[in-house]
Amino acid sequence: MSDPAVMHGPAQGGFTLVEAVLVMVVIGILGASVAVFIRAPVQGYADAVVRAELLDVADLALRRMARDLRLALPNSVRVNAAQDSIEFLLTRTGGRYLDAADGVDSRPVLDFLDPTKTSFTVVGAMPTSAQLEPGHDYLVVNNLGADFPPADAYAVSASQRNIALIDGVDNATSTITLHDNPFAVQVPPVPSASRRFHVVSGPVSYYCGPETSGPNLLTRQSGYPISASQQSNPVAAGSSSGQRAVLAGRVASCKFEISSLATRRSALVLITIELQPKMAANAGPNATLRLVHQVHVENTP
């Protein structure tokens, strides 16, 4: 007879320690293999997101520059020798002035003979207070550029100039009063054939260069004095002489070019920006993004 103390039941299943270790090793190998295959697509997606964000920033900067350049005073756009800075005088408004040839003796005209006469009548709509700030804005007539010294708005300190500080505006009589009348001392006088004037708030520069440390930045600089000679970086980092706004970072290089058309009535500004995104380590040192933009500028004063 069998011993009643010995009980027979179903066999108990399970994993041995060796089997569990083998399973973990296999799963680890499979996981590593999958990671190798999905790493490149995931990294590619991350790099594409970085490129897209950087392109958005650069595109916005280019559009901002194009908008400002279209408001530039005719013949005031200039590029420095290094081609990393572009400067122009930004117009706020404009209009037409009453001239002696109009034959309206009862109203003051913009006089090109008598320097003591500093007030003139605006023909048509008067600039509003939001468009013109006396004591800050300048009036320019017939700006022809640096090749014509009596008609160069950058020569704000010269006796021979075509730019004058605006002292006051009288909307009731449609008159503008200037601080002085430089147009009457020009030799020869350079009036506007269409009797037009422009009101400028001052210079604006776009500069591409480094901070004290770190990558190059594309900055918009304004609020600094008008100068006959161009300064590449007029409002450096930390300066209190004007306003400075960063438009784009991680800039590898910038290049500004300007070419006047045959008639000199217009010009073409070419802007080239290369950006250096922060990519994967295996992307290589030459993984730059290059954007080129052209802006048509009117030069008819």
Contact between 157 and 228 (Cβ < 8 Å) = yes
Task: Inform me whether the pLDDT recorded for 251 exceeds 90.
Answer: no
Q: What is the mean pLDDT of the chain?
A: 86
Q: What is the pLDDT of residues 67-93, one digit of tens each?
A: 999 999 999 999 999 999 999 999 999
User: What pLDDT, on a 0 to 100 scale, did the predictor assign at position 155?
Assistant: 94
Q: What is the mean pLDDT of residues 114-129?
A: 93
Q: What is the pLDDT of residues 39-49, one digit of tens each?
A: 667 666 666 77
Kindly list the distances between the CA atom of residue 24 and the CA atoms of 17, 27, 29, 39, 168, in Å, as whole numbers in the listed order: 11, 5, 9, 22, 86
Residues in contact with 64: Cβ distance below 8 Å, sequence separation at least 6, in sequence order: 220, 247
Name residue 208's beta-bridge partners: 218
Q: What is the pLDDT of residue 177?
A: 97
Q: Report pLDDT digits (tens) over 20-31.
A: 778 787 787 777
Question: Which residue, chain included where needed, has tokens 């505006």?
Answer: 169
Per-residue confidence (pLDDT) for residue 249, from 0 to 100: 82
DSSP code for 42: H
Q: Give the DSSP H/E element, type plus range, for residue 178.
A: strand 175-178
List Cβ neighbours of 107 (8 Å cut-off, separation of 6 or more): 98, 121
Structure confidence at residue 245 (pLDDT): 92
Give the CA distances from residue 29 to residues 19, 26, 40, 160, 163, in Å, rounded to whole numbers and listed in that order. Answer: 15, 5, 18, 83, 78
Would you tell me how many other CB atoms lie within 10 Å of the CB of residue 137?
A: 19
